[in-house]
């Protein structure tokens, strides 16, 4: 076994890069629900806002959505993007709380499809 020594500053930089990669991978794991579509009611419950507020956000272009037969749908990823775009301080804790509540609500309320059935 070889022992390799490096300068302290080089070690700090290497350790910082490793931690950044680990953080990135953790975030990538949490995107499993980003493509899940939610309706108006679900989004309003998650964000604790009224449908009128959600309508204002939609008309101002603050949140991405799709309209199908008169109903509006949003992805969790679009909600996260909107929250991050409007963040004044780090909103990671709020986004994590939103994801936990969303996962809990979805798992209780409906069954998720694990595969694509076309």
Please answer whether residues 117 and 102 qualify as being in contact, where contact means their C-beta atoms are separated by less than 8 angstroms.
Answer: no
DSSP element (H, E) containing 92: helix 92-109
SS3 label, residue 5: coil
- Residues paired with 72 in a beta bridge: 67
Give residue-wise pLDDT tens across range 70-107.
999 999 888 988 888 876 554 577 777 777 777 777 67
Report the C-alpha gap between 61 and 116 in whole angstroms.
Answer: 30
Give residue-wise pLDDT tens across range 12-40.
888 888 888 888 777 766 656 777 889 99
In the predicted structure, residue 118 carries a pLDDT above the cut 50: no
> CA torsion angle for 73, 78, 79, 82 (degrees, to 10)?
-130
Res 53: pLDDT: 93
The residue with tokens 């998720």 is 112
Please answer whether residues 72 and 58 qualify as being in contact, where contact means their C-beta atoms are separated by less than 8 angstroms.
Answer: yes
């Amino acid at each position: 076994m070889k022992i390799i020594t490096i300068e302290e500053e080089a070690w700090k930089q290497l350790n910082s890069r490793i931690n950044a990669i680990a953080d990135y991978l953790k975030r990538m794991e949490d995107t499993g629900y980003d493509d899940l579509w939610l309706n108006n009611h679900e989004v309003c419950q998650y964000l604790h806002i009224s449908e009128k507020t959600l309508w204002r956000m939609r008309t101002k272009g603050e949140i991405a959505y799709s309209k199908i037969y008169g109903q509006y749908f949003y992805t969790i990823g679009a909600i996260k993007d909107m929250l991050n775009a409007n963040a004044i301080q780090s909103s990671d804790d709020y986004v994590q709380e939103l994801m936990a509540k969303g996962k809990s609500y979805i798992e209780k309320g409906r069954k998720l499809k694990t595969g694509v059935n076309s």
